[in-house]
A and B are shown apart, each in its own frame.
Chain A
Amino acid sequence: MEFLDLLMLGFGEALNPTNLAFCLLGALLGTLIGVLPGIGPTATIAVLLPITFYLPPLAGIIMLSGIYYGAQYGGSTTAILVNLPGEASSVVTAIDGYKMAQNGKAGSALAVAALGSFFAGTVATFGIAIAGPTLSSFALSFGPAEYVALMLFGLLAATVLARGSVLKAIGMILFGLALGMVGIDAASGEERLTFSAIELFDGIDFVVIAIGVFGFTEIIENLENVEARGVLVRKLSRLWPTREDFRKAWPAVLRGTGVGTFLGILPGGGATLAAFCAYSLEKKVAKDPREFGNGAVQGVAGPEAANNAGAQSSFIPLLTLGIPSNNMMAMMLSAFIIHGITPGPTVLQTQPQIFWGLVASMWVGNLMLVVINLPLIGVWVKLLTVPYRLLYPAILLFCCVGVYSINNRIFDVVLAAGFGLLGYLFRKAKCEPGPLLLGFVLGPLLETNIRRALVISQGSPSVFVERPISLVLLIATAAMLVLMVLPSFRKTREEAFQEEEA
């Protein structure tokens, strides 16, 4: 019963009018910046951090978290509508979500994303409440060797993201890995692949590549194919998912929630992996995997649920151990510290109202987001009926400002234009950018952890198979590789035969 008491305490805190108001404000702001491509929650929270000095601690933190998960909700909107993912996790949503929009099912995709996210948010919130401390101690058992195995698994899963040839997908992952290595190598202090540009010392920012290869390339491509964009407007029909959509999406949401909650706990990259893993899982269990990449509703539902569940559960290490699992959480940590609160086991004991109030507010915030977002779908879908010649300058402006705001420098904007050109060439070569981005995100994690694991084991590679979690993950990776390679070889052979006949 103690649990219920604590939860009641939390809701008592979350529902007090001040906290409620700031929760709403955060959720609204989050939706706004999520929808505006490029402007990310990290930058926004940074700007708002000083303002929270003047708020009561809990209200300030509730607002900032609202911005964070609100942005997760909003981020999928642009991914679906204009194929512009603002962060790693919505890269996946863009694949099938944008196709659905092109098929005239934008409303359906947006509704599935919102409802799936809400469900996942609810489950993950209660997950934090019930099992937070237990889960976080599991996350700690992930050492360098386990991360290496997990990243390999994730990279392999990335090849599933592409519709076309597996070989091209592997090439794109490799290129992504190389891009991820740009910058100063912490272990040796040497600069790598920077071409002596000081702006590249800290590596390339994810948003720069995403805006380049997705945002700019998409605009150029759309302007090139005058016929293609007419389709978008003409076939717009439904605002709400069909019964069939619901039937397909429901189990995907469940699976995505599980994957997301679990991976979100892992510090350093877990939450990013969530959406990718959920997508490959859906593609594996689907009766007809060919639907994926052509507007499969499961391809939106699973990753969106995973993404949101992961966003919620990434709070677990911060709240229970005092350790932020990503940049966003590091910002949250400074927000706590500014108010003289140091999250961690001590706070859990001495100031339970902070932990439980925040957890309860997350659920309240998620509810608000659904209420805000569902009616907005009508507006978003209308937006698609705006002629493209009026729409694309706006997207262009948002992209440019977004890229600039990452580090406040024009270098990034010019670099993004370069990636736009590269993305255009890749389109012409029929190479898809999804795997590139995943390789880019996971590459540095893979490399640092390989090197770390080998330093700790003093150079003995047996460390990867001696540790049980790592061994299990490696076996799973190998099994998946076999499963993938067999049918894909068969498929290319079939294709080759068909071509010969034709």
Chain B
Amino acid sequence: MKNLIRNTALATTMLLGIGAAHAEWPSDRPIEMIVAFAPGGGTDVMNRTLAPYIEKELGGKITILNRPGASGEIAYTALTQAKPDGYTLSSLNTPGYLTMQMDRKVRFDPKKLCLVARIVEDPGSFIVQANSPYNSLKDLVAFAKANPGKVTVGTTGLGTDEHLALLQLEKAAGVDLTPVTFNGANEARTALLGGHVTAIGINVGEFQSGDRSAFKSLGQFADQRSVIAQDLPTAKEQGFDVIMSSERGIAMGCDVPEAIRTKYSDAVKKALDNPEFQEKAKQQSLPLSYRSSEDWNKELPARAERLGEVWKLVKEQK
């Protein structure tokens, strides 16, 4: 709809020779990469940092377009409405992408959205002040058991990954924690520094990219220790069945020919292997964890199912 003339031109090319049109992708015009979050945020910075390295692999140009809003729903809707010609991509983050489908009727058809590549998996964690008496999740749980409701944990809202991790911990350890909502991790961090809450939930990568001198981490909610936090024990190792991580990746419309999707996925893989990019990723504490479109598509239903279980806990709270 949006680019009437452009599309007519494209349709003509398609009519003239479908094979030819594919072969040209993506050199004849820029690829539009929709970022579902505002400029300067983690997802935006990651995609802007990565884009030049993907360009190098593909030989095409990538322009970044920010369409923030409704935790990504606006961007996903825009993506499903775009022409399936391989020139429009979108960032895709879990668990937001999955939980929004549990909570309400979304404005896009998830079946039309195909995963192209996962770039990052960032496990959740709980952090406390550096001088706090708690050194592990066990310590925190022990105190919470003796003082129900006294432990306050900062999250960024109901149903966010920190909140889901909190619910899992409550259930796994049989304790009662009090979630306190903040608008974003930075506000929560400020409150923790000022001693207004006991602990806050924050992703490991997000935590490590900031100044850590005033905080310590109690444990990560990953299946296995993250590449960027090899020394931090997981919740599982400490005896609590809590698994919660957020993933950042890229999606395309499912109507885009599979050859193009795979080609893009491979280009992302090569870009991630570029030592120059890896140096940048290290500076930004990006927990890189590539999955090809095939692998990620295979893994996602399991993740969705697990989230669904946790989501029931949210419903109980309401």
Contacts and interface: CB of A to CB of B under 8 A. Distances in A.
User: CB atoms of A and B under 8 A apart anywhere in the complex?
Assistant: yes
Interface of A: 42-43, 45-47, 49-50, 53, 140-144, 184, 186-189, 198-199, 201-202, 267-268, 317, 321-325, 327, 330-331, 333-335, 337-340, 342-347, 407-409, 448, 451-452, 455-456, 458
Given A143-B191, A337-B209, A345-B213, A458 B183 contact: no
A68 to B, nearest CB: 13
A81 to B, nearest CB: 29
Given A198-B69, A342-B212, A455-B152, 13 more contacts: A49-B48, A184-B70, A189-B158, A198-B73, A325-B190, A330-B40, A340-B284, A345-B211, A407-B68, A452-B181, A455-B179, A456-B152, A458-B149
Contacts of B40: 42, 45-46, 49, 330-331, 334-335
Contact of B156 (A42, A140, A186, A344): A186
Interface of B: 38-42, 44-45, 48-49, 65-71, 73-74, 77, 103, 107, 149, 152, 156-159, 178-184, 186-187, 189-191, 193-197, 209-214, 280, 283-284, 314, 318
A448 B183 contact: yes
A198 B210 CA distance: 32
B267 to A, nearest CB: 19
Given A189-B158, A344-B213, A199 B39 contact: no
A456 B39 CA distance: 32
B17 to A, nearest CB: 34
Given A322-B211, A344-B213, A456-B197, A198 B74 contact: yes
A342 B210 contact: yes
Contacts of B67: 407-409
Contacts of B210: 322, 333, 337, 342, 344
A345 B214 contact: yes
Contacts of B212: 342, 346
Given A141-B194, A189-B159, A201-B73, A49 B178 contact: no
A187 B196 contact: no
B194 A140 contact: yes
Contacts, number: 149
Contacts of A198: 69-70, 73-74, 77, 107
A347 B211 contact: yes
Contacts of B280: 338
B38 A186 contact: no
B39 A452 contact: no
Given A199-B69, A408-B67, A409-B67, A346 B186 contact: no
27 contacts: A47-B39, A49-B40, A49-B48, A50-B48, A143-B194, A144-B196, A186-B181, A187-B157, A188-B158, A189-B314, A198-B70, A198-B77, A198-B107, A202-B69, A268-B190, A322-B210, A323-B193, A330-B41, A337-B209, A342-B209, A342-B211, A345-B213, A346-B211, A407-B68, A409-B74, A452-B182, A456-B152
Contact of B39 (A49, A140, A347, A448): A49
Contact of B283 (A143, A337, A347): A337
A339 B282 CA distance: 11
Most A CB within 10 A of own CB, among B66, B69, B74, B156: B69
A343 B211 CA distance: 6
Given A337-B284, A344-B211, A456-B178, A317 B190 contact: yes
A407 B210 CA distance: 27
B213 A346 contact: yes
Contact of A186 (B39, B73, B158): B158
Given A46-B38, A140-B194, A337-B283, A321 B211 contact: yes
B101 to A, nearest CB: 14
Contacts of A46: 38-40, 44, 66
A179 to B, nearest CB: 17
Contact of B180 (A47, A50, A452): A452
B39 A189 contact: no
Contact of A189 (B41, B103, B186): B103
A268 B66 CA distance: 24
A455 B74 contact: no
A286 to B, nearest CB: 36
Contacts of A339: 283
Contacts of A43: 39
Nearest to A187: B181
Contacts of A451: 181
Given A143-B196, A199-B74, A451-B181, A334 B69 contact: no
B70 A201 contact: yes
A198 B44 CA distance: 21
Contacts of B66: 46, 407-408
A338 B49 contact: yes
Contacts of B193: 140, 321, 323
Main SS at interface, chain A: helix
Nearest to A53: B49
B283 A338 contact: yes
Contacts of A187: 157-158, 181
A92 to B, nearest CB: 24
A322 B209 CA distance: 10
Contacts of A322: 210-211
B45 A323 contact: no
A84 to B, nearest CB: 24
A201 B39 contact: no
A30 to B, nearest CB: 17
A184 to B, nearest CB: 8
Given A140-B194, A345-B213, A323 B189 contact: yes
A325 B184 CA distance: 11
Contacts of B194: 140-143
Contacts of B213: 344-346
Contacts of B41: 330, 334
Interface centre among B212, B213, B280 (most CB of A within 10 A): B213
Contacts of A337: 45, 209-210, 283-284
Give the top 5 A-B pairs by smallest Cβ distance, nearest first: A344-B211, A46-B39, A322-B211, A186-B157, A340-B283
A410 to B, nearest CB: 11
A53 B277 CA distance: 12
Contacts of B44: 46
B296 to A, nearest CB: 26
Contacts of A267: 186-187, 190
A338 B45 contact: yes
Contacts of B189: 323
Contact of B178 (A142, A327, A455): A455
Contacts of B157: 186-187, 189
Nearest to A335: B40
A335 B194 CA distance: 25
Contacts of A45: 39-40
A408 B211 contact: no
Nearest to A320: B211
Contacts of A141: 194
